Amino acid sequence: MFWRTFTTKAALEADIREDINSRVFGCEFESVLLSDLISERHYFCSRHKIRPSRFRKEPNKKNYILFGFFDISREGRQIGWHPASWIKCVKRPPNDWDLIIEAMRRRIEPRMQEYRRMTPTCEDCHSAPSEEVHHSVLSFSEVTTRVRDSISDHDISFCMKDWDWFSSDDFALPEWGAVTEMFELVHDFSVPRALCKCCHNKTKKS
List of residues contacting Zn ion (CB under 5 A):
122, 124-125, 128, 196, 199
Q: What is the largest CA-CA distance in the chain?
A: 61
Least distance from C-beta 123 to Zn ion, angstroms? 8
Q: H helices of 49-90, where? A: 86-90
Residue with smaller CB distance to Zn ion, 147 or 196: 196
Least distance from C-beta 189 to Zn ion, angstroms? 24
Residue with smaller CB distance to Zn ion, 42 or 200: 200
Q: How far is C-alpha 201 from the chain's CA centre?
A: 23
> Measured between alpha carbons, how far is 9 from 91 in angstroms, rounded to an integer?
8
Least distance from C-beta 193 to Zn ion, angstroms? 10
Residue with smaller CB distance to Zn ion, 11 or 125: 125
Task: For 17-31, give the DSSP string.
Answer: HHHHHTSPTT--B--
Least distance from C-beta 205 to Zn ion, angstroms? 14
Query: Which residue from 1, 17, 8 is spatially nearest to 87, judged by alpha carbons?
Result: 17
Residue with smaller CB distance to Zn ion, 151 or 194: 194
